[in-house]
Amino acid sequence: MEFKKLIHLLYVPTQFCNMSCQYCYLGDLTETQPDTTTILGTLHTALEQLLLHGYLPFNLSFHGGEVTTLSSEVLDSLFHTAAKHYSQYGSQIHAQGFRVNPPHIKTNLLTFQKHWDVLVKHQVSISGSVDLPLRLHERFRRDKGGNSTLQRTLENLQALAAYPYNKKISCVVTRAHLEAVDEFIDAIKYLHYDIGLDMSRFNVMFGFHSHKNNDKFHNQVPGTEMLTQLEQVDFYHALKQAFLRTPLENAFKNEWFKEFTPDFCCSSVNCGDKFFLLQSDGSVFSCPRGQSSKQYCYGNIYEEDIETIMHNGENTIERNENLLFIADTCMICEYLHLCNLGCTFVRQETNLQKSYTCLLQRELYHDNPDRYPSMAAAEIENYARHFLLRNNLQKLHKVHTQKQRFLTPELNEKENWLSEIIQRDTVLQDIYGDGLFLLNVNDVNYRLRSAILKNEADIEVLDSNSQVILGVRNDIFSLACNDEINNYLHLMLLRDTTVKYGDEQRTKQEHIFDYSVYRNIFLSASEEVDGYFLFDISQILINHSYWYLDGIKNNLFFTTKALREYHYTKQKKNAFYHIQAINLPFHNIEFFWNRNTSV
């Protein structure tokens, strides 16, 4: 079978955790007890549907919550499913350049030895999470009752050292860890040399502020504060000084800070293209971090089809990215192609305009120039432009400031201002007012406004899979009209390629199409909800996509025959109105068209 795409699938059979780490970004979600009746069925259903639609998981791993709070019997079945998947599709995974891995779990190690037999049976790869130095483990990583987990963790670290299959350790670093960096270094040496746990596969992670954590602990727990970027660099240099020219030098260079390199999802242009997290209720999220926010949910395998969920992956990450601002320095950075602004979720949680590990990443790139080459100055502008077009529209928003006009001093008199002319005319109030048209684009709502009056553009990225629903106020066909049967909804599409029009020889956007739907036909094809007629215009836009150009904005206006005629009649009757409303005043939205998505 030919597969469309290979994906990384994380399965969260339970969000429940037996610990209450004080910097956890999942907050109270770890209190949720699992419905064990759905755990196995959901994984089987997801794999079946993914494969049926041409999506092959090249990596299947298990995350939480805490996976080991489940029984050994349930774990045995999960690992058996993963092993069977790799056995059946391993050759195709390998042929696409990916390693065929054993089943893998992320665990806090608290009940590691309890499942020893089933873990060994399936040769499960273990990623254990602890705090270093271990006195901070005692401080921050307590169980649900607030009791110490240190002694059990020490025993399980010793057991992990003897575990015969793949294993590694990770540690979250916060303010307290930096303050104890010398002890942190000693703890690495202790685990490596005294306990015998191979620390060449150690991973550093940096804690970050999160809404769920703040909700659970009400205030930031002292010591768990997120490091500044300079402090992260200080931490990096302390480990560098301690481990260069030692047996762990290669580990420091290649493994310990790998999460902050282009090898990891955090540096993807759009992580929704490849990484998917499945929960036992069928919900699909972006990743372990993103599962704490509904804004990063792609859908549910029991409610949406797989194609919709897969399409929502990239769309959701792109849409969340579009809500964020970008630092100006990022758009001229020689490492933008490596970083891509880092994790969208963390930027959203922390209100940052760049990667929260920006300076650390630059240190990594400087230390490994052959592996992470900078971008030539001539290429940066082009890459930044394409990045913005794909993933962030905040910088593309055009803010149109009010222009001064001096054709006649009378224009400066308040009674002749456009706002005053509109105020005196009830029909113009409808033409220019908010709420006449709504637009829902892939479940994101826009309350459209007049193109003249607003000072910021509504901009979307559409493709052949986008659903675009137009909402029309239910009295619209009666506005400025005594003959509703002959009235119609009118759509006008212009393109940001310019041509010269008419006797004025004004350079204006090029007109692409007009589309009219008469009242009775429109009503028969729409439904009324909350005072608006809802009309799907997705196919209209698709049918004209031949004329959309890559990287060129399209400008879509909405009005009716009667309102359009009223506007032009008003222009003839009132020179002050004509001068100030020389451009189209109707409600609009602008969009780019993405041709890289198939129907």
Distance CA 49, CA 57 (A): 11
426 domain-assigned = yes
> Which domain range does residue 553 map to?
399-593
Predicted confidence at residue 268, as pLDDT, reads 86
Predicted confidence at residue 402, as pLDDT, reads 41
Predicted confidence at residue 466, as pLDDT, reads 93
| Residues recorded for the chain | 599
502 domain-assigned = yes
- The answer to whether the CB of 201 falls within 8 A of the CB of 126 is no
Name the strands in the sheet holding 125-129, side by side, starting at the edge strand that comes first in the sequence: 202-206, 167-173, 125-129, 104-107, 55-62, 5-12, 275-279, 283-285, 297-300
Single pTM value for the model: 0.68
180 domain-assigned = no
- The answer to whether the CB of 398 falls within 8 A of the CB of 326 is no
Phi/psi for 559 (5° steps) reads -160, -165
Residue 324, helix vs strand vs coil: coil
Q: Which of 571, 589, 397, 422 is nearest to 492 (CA)?
A: 589
516 domain-assigned = yes
565 domain-assigned = yes
Predicted confidence at residue 283, as pLDDT, reads 94
Distance CA 170, CA 129 (A): 5
507 domain-assigned = yes
Distance CA 253, CA 241 (A): 12
Distance CA 551, CA 452 (A): 24
261 domain-assigned = no
Q: Which residues contact 259 (CB under 8 A, 6 or more apart)?
A: 203, 204, 205, 266
Q: Looking at the 3D structure of the chain, how many domains does it have? A: 1
Predicted confidence at residue 165, as pLDDT, reads 95
456 domain-assigned = yes
Predicted confidence at residue 334, as pLDDT, reads 95
Distance CA 7, CA 98 (A): 11
Which parts of the chain have pLDDT scores under 70?
A: 211-220, 392-408, 597-599
Q: How far is residue 280 from each of residues 9, 43, 277, 475, 595, measured CA to CA in Å? A: 13, 7, 10, 46, 35
